[in-house]
A and B are shown apart, each in its own frame.
Chain A
Amino acid sequence: MEYFVQQLINGVTLGAIYGLIAIGYTMVYGIIGMINFAHGDIFMIGAFVGLIAFLILGLAGITWVPLALIIVLIVAMLLTSVYGWTVERLAYRPLRGSHRLAPLISAIGMSIFLQNYVQILQGARVRPMPPVIQGGITLMETDAFVVQLSYVQILIVLVTVALMATFAMIIARTPLGRAQRACEQDRTMAGLLGINVDRTISLTFVTGAALAAVAGILFLVYYGVIDFYIGFLAGIKAFTAAVLGGIGSLPGAMLGGLLIGLIETFWSAYFTIEYKDVAAFSILVLVLIFRPTGLLGRPEVEKV
């Protein structure tokens, strides 16, 4: 029982991170109908920017954790969204209206580029970071097992919930959100109605990248180690989450992220930790076979 509760906590934490990345996939898919393969790498860059920012703040003497964390989050969101913007501008925008394989190949090329870019600039070895936030609350205690809810986990869930709420507001209430939803429905029509489609798409990439940066920082504080390769697996899993929740659906992305986090954690806890990545992947295939629209997705009517 205690073990179960502990795994539940860990699963939700991991799921929150996946969910944040999955939003980026789902938004981009919703608006331009392609998988942004480079999104996982944007997440990885976010983590590196976060690490650098933490270290600089440390050297500058800002060690009060809440302040440092807020500064790091803001800096990383800003600088990572520049990457999101640039990727869209260089690799995807010129390809609108090209044949259907072109943006996919361009995206995978971008992903390979970014991975190696960071590897060359930052080195191939893993980067450990000393724990920023320590301690936690003991929820249950028996002789054999202690259920811990660490402060980091609380932080991750709080930040995620707060961001999700803000984000849902942006989509529902602001002009940007309206433009975004309009472009999702019909890009040509939205353009005719005076919406700047290019800018809306750019902003979609920017917000996606900012959320991925947050996910990267949360990943960094949670695990304490990052390398240039973390974006690859996290990307596949977050994409699985987006598909599971129903690609194109924002609540779906969050729900899918949670489920993937839980499944992965419980799989590792009760079956074999080595095959945890296989679990997520098997789910992807199963969902695609039995319910390609995901849990909360709308069926796609094929345009003939």
Chain B
Amino acid sequence: MSLAEAAPMSPKIVVPSGARPLLTVEHLTMRFGGLVAVNDVSFAAGDAEITAIIGPNGAGKTTLFNCLTGFYKPTVGRLSLDHGERQFLLERMDDFRIAQKAHVARTFQNIRLFPAMSVLENLIVAQHNALMRASGYSVFGLLGIGGYRQAESDAVDWARYWLEQVNLVDRADDNAGDLPYGAQRRLEIARAMCSRPVLLCLDEPAAGLNPRESAELNALLTYIKEKHQIGLLLIEHDMSVVMEISDHIVVLDYGSKISDGTPEFVRGDPAVIRAYLGEEEEDEIPPEVAADLAGEAPPGGEGEGR
């Protein structure tokens, strides 16, 4: 932290597209004992843009996410979130305060829903803080006075809106744990969106999805970006998702940033090809993904919204 304060914003960290930076990561380093999981990474993610973080397994992507969302305290570095009217230094905040005050929402690599609660309840829990205020921190709610009823009904409407977006309205009253895998992934995104974030962090949202679901995911993420004008930060292995929808790609390898730029730039960057695409081509890129890279639309894909 002392380093972050001492270091001036020396070479200005900018978003490639020139968009206003929503999140600025400066000199982020995370050590676990002797292991350096993230090593001096700096980049900026633009407002109302999709920024993808890619890299081979163990490159430090999820650790970076965990630092951003407060689950880990970074060893060194500054993580600043600029809403426009307010600024937050995320590295100084507790995990739940980051969600509550800075409005950063996230999903998890291995889905974390509330399995024994209904789909709708999952989405209502996401609006906890607003509803707590509306229920007078439970006091008025218990007595049945004040505007809690109205607030709850608004919350249900908001939840319904997101259920419609992820196509789960008819499963609203089922337990979240009973949904099929792909639906659970969508529900997790809907739940994160229900908390009205300004930055949505998605940890491998396409993992385990079939090509059709994957295409639907692309459409959903693009919709979120364009309709709700928030920043999305995305960890992904699925190149069809990454290349198609990202405005900006940051490539990590062994904890360090090796490339940063537009999809076109990253695709042509020799460092990326060497470290990520080139050397491990056979392992990393299955034929259908290679096809996607070449620009072929996946079967059953809807409009990409661009």
Contact = CB atoms under 8 A, between A and B. Distances in A.
A302 interface: yes
B108 interface: yes
A118 to B, nearest CB: 37
B108 A304 contact: yes
B75 interface: no
B108 A301 contact: no
B235 to A, nearest CB: 13
A230 to B, nearest CB: 39
Interface in B69-95: 71
A206 B109 CA distance: 37
A304 B108 CA distance: 8
Contacts of A301: 32
Interface in A48-106: none
Interface in A254-304: 301-302, 304
Contacts of A302: 71
Interface string B87-114: 0000000000000000000001000000
Interface size class of A (residues with CB under 8 A): under 10
B94 to A, nearest CB: 13
A301 B32 CA distance: 9
Interface in B89-148: 108
A302 B108 CA distance: 14
Interface string B42-64: 00000000000000000000100
Contacts of B66: 304
A65 B32 CA distance: 54
Contacts of B108: 304
A97 B66 CA distance: 25
Nearest to B66: A304
Nearest to B116: A99
A134 to B, nearest CB: 52
Nearest to A302: B71
A237 B166 CA distance: 53
A301 B71 CA distance: 10
Nearest to A298: B33
Interface in A207-249: none
A164 to B, nearest CB: 27
A58 B120 CA distance: 70
Contacts of B71: 302, 304
Nearest to B95: A304
Contacts of A304: 62, 66, 71, 108
Contacts of B32: 301
A298 to B, nearest CB: 9
A167 to B, nearest CB: 27
Nearest to B106: A304
B88 to A, nearest CB: 20
A301 B62 CA distance: 14
A41 to B, nearest CB: 32
B281 to A, nearest CB: 27
A301 B30 CA distance: 13
A301 B73 CA distance: 11
A25 B171 CA distance: 44
A77 B62 CA distance: 47
Interface in A133-159: none
A304 B71 CA distance: 8
A248 to B, nearest CB: 16
A301 B66 CA distance: 12
B107 to A, nearest CB: 11
A301 B37 CA distance: 13
Nearest to A301: B32
A253 to B, nearest CB: 23
B21 to A, nearest CB: 25
Contacts of B62: 304
A304 to B, nearest CB: 5
A302 B71 CA distance: 8
B129 to A, nearest CB: 21
Interface string B240-253: 00000000000000
Interface in A103-122: none
A178 to B, nearest CB: 22
A302 B112 CA distance: 15
A154 to B, nearest CB: 42
A304 B73 CA distance: 13
A302 B73 CA distance: 12
Nearest to B32: A301
A302 B72 CA distance: 8
B64 to A, nearest CB: 12
B29 to A, nearest CB: 16
Nearest to B108: A304
B283 to A, nearest CB: 20
Interface string B26-43: 000000100000000000
A194 to B, nearest CB: 24
B33 to A, nearest CB: 9
Nearest to B71: A304
B184 to A, nearest CB: 17
A170 to B, nearest CB: 27
A194 B213 CA distance: 37
Interface of A: 301-302, 304
6 contacts: A301-B32, A302-B71, A304-B62, A304-B66, A304-B71, A304-B108
Closest 6 CB pairs of A and B: A304-B71, A304-B66, A301-B32, A302-B71, A304-B108, A304-B62
